[in-house]
Chain A
Amino acid sequence: MKALIETIVRALVDYPEDVVVTESSDESTITYVLSVHEGDIGKVIGKQGRTIHAIRTVVYAAASDQPKRVVVQVKDKG
């Protein structure tokens, strides 16, 4: 799932080498925190969150056979 998020995001940003996805999980949820170059944050979120919404939709579809809930977050700068 990490590789899927990285594949999508690297194709959208100006600094693909700065794309880092970290994974953490507890009993019920797997959380992926997406960190990108400061100048790319707007690109991955998109106008009114359209892009991040699309990324989440694709990731959730791929994770549909997963018993745990999957969450994708964008890391704020700082």
Chain B
Amino acid sequence: MKVITATASTVDEAIQSALNELGVSRDRVEIDILDHGKKGFLGIFGNKPAVVKVTVVPHPIEETETFLKNVIEKMGIKATIEKVENDKEVLFSITGEKIGLLIGKHGQTLNSLQLLAQLVANRYTQDYINITVDAENYRTRRKEVLTQLAEKLAEKAIKTKREVKLEPLPAYERKVIHAALANNGQVKTFSVGTEPHRYIVIAPMHERMSR
């Protein structure tokens, strides 16, 4: 966090000079007036300058963007990040070289980056911000794969009249499976276990549950 103190003959001037030095606008800082200053007698005797302390308030989304940029660069990957903001939902899309490295097996590296980005974003805000990190449309492709998998396993559950357990998946991937089968009248889906090993069970509708 950047903090500077500035001194000038009036409070306003001191604030302005601090803002100039920091290169930010007034709505992005917190201002502490340490000394209002005194004009002094005839402007000669006993005049005291005004002193202000100006602190740049971190902007959660910008901090997160900088964080992702730095981390990706230090991973030795050349990439560009695009950002789409929608109220409390922010999507960062990464494109560039060696993106496979950034996605990892089953997206585990991408998910880890997303988790860290989420932590950075919510360090600086009271309102919860939801961060999604995507690379080369991985999330969209993954959604298609999960939807197909859900349909295939639902058929299996119906055919065998048995519950089908899936591998543990992160919450937003489980959500895709639940959503894919929400309108399937022949099966129901629920999650079992605790994070990070929580997994989905697809159960045929007309079977007595033995959980």
Residues of A at under 8 Å CB distance from B?
A: 3-4, 7-8, 11-12, 46, 48, 50-51, 53-55, 57-58, 61-62, 64
Contacts and interface: CB of A to CB of B under 8 A. Distances in A.
A7 B74 contact: yes
Contacts of B111: 54, 57
B123 A62 contact: no
Interface SS of chain A: helix
Given A12-B119, A12-B120, A48-B196, A58 B71 contact: yes
Nearest to A4: B74
Interface stretch (B31-39, B100-108, B138-146): B100-108
Contacts of B63: 11
Contacts of A51: 115-116, 119
Nearest to A61: B109
Contact of B113 (A3, A48, A58, A64): A58
Contacts of B71: 4, 7-8, 58
B75 A54 contact: no
B112 A58 contact: yes
A50 B101 contact: no
B74 A62 contact: yes
B70 A7 contact: yes
B195 interface: yes
A61 B120 contact: no
B43 interface: no
A15 to B, nearest CB: 12
B23 interface: no
A4 B102 CA distance: 14
A4 B119 contact: no
